[in-house]
């Protein structure tokens, strides 16, 4: 019987300028999101990238904040620029169906923006049944979902650059 240790993450190498990544986080569960943020920071630093961090109130606000960031890059005067985006948050199932609505709409909103814009996005929204599951996915090991989201975003940045889009 074999044991699965989690994904092996090689350092992402991207040609050209250091990638600029915007991390949009919903720190409602601050320790959980903080653990995932450390994974993002590590992966982006290993890739030689720059990281900017902004907070939103909760998971539901993640897609709108991403849309605002994308819109901000379209303004010619002093427009910020990011090569990619990482979104982090955590929703823990409770006794009501609020969990289902928040998770569905946050995921749907991010996917819609991803497909419509082709932006390089790493999505790290934990949708868990209890805090123990969240802790396991935000710890400093191979299961850190923040690190996975950062790697996904960086790989998308590399793909955009390869095809002349970034």
In the annotated binding site for 5-amino-6-(D-ribitylamino)uracil, the residues are: 28, 59-61, 90-92, 123
Contact 62, 27 (CB under 8 A): no
Encoded tokens for 103: 């998770």
Taking residue 96's Cβ as centre, other Cβ atoms within 10 Å add up to 8
Q: Which of 98, 101, 129, 143 is catalytic?
A: 98
Annotated binding site: 28, 59-61, 90-92, 95-96, 123, 137
- In the chain, the N- to C-terminal Cα span, in Å, equals 44
Ramachandran category for residue 23: left, alpha or beta (phi over 0 → left; psi -120 to 50 → alpha):
beta
CA distance 23 to 56: 11
Annotated binding site for (2S)-2-hydroxy-3-oxobutyl phosphate: 95-96, 137
Give yes or no: 98 in active site: yes
- Residue 113 in 3-state DSSP? helix
| Site of tokens 């990238």 | 49
Taking residue 4's Cβ as centre, other Cβ atoms within 10 Å add up to 7
Catalytic residues: 98
């Amino acid at each position: 019987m074999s044991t699965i240790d989690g994904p092996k993450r090689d350092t992402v190498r991207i040609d050209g300028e250091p990638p600029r990544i915007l991390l949009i986080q919903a720190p409602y569960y601050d320790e959980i999101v903080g653990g995932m943020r450390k994974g993002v920071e590590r992966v982006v630093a290993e890739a030689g990238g720059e990281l900017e961090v902004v907070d939103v109130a909760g998971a539901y606000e993640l897609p709108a904040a991403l849309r605002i960031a994308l819109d901000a890059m379209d303004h010619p005067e002093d427009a910020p620029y990011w090569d990619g985006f990482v979104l982090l948050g955590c929703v823990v199932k409770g006794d009501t169906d609020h969990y289902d609505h928040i998770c569905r709409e946050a995921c749907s909103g991010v996917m819609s923006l991803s497909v419509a814009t082709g932006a390089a996005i790493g999505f790290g929204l934990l949708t868990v049944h209890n805090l123990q599951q969240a802790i396991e996915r935000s710890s400093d090991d191979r299961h850190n979902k923040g690190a996975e989201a950062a790697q996904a975003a960086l790989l998308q940045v590399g793909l955009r650059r390869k095809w002349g889009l970034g």
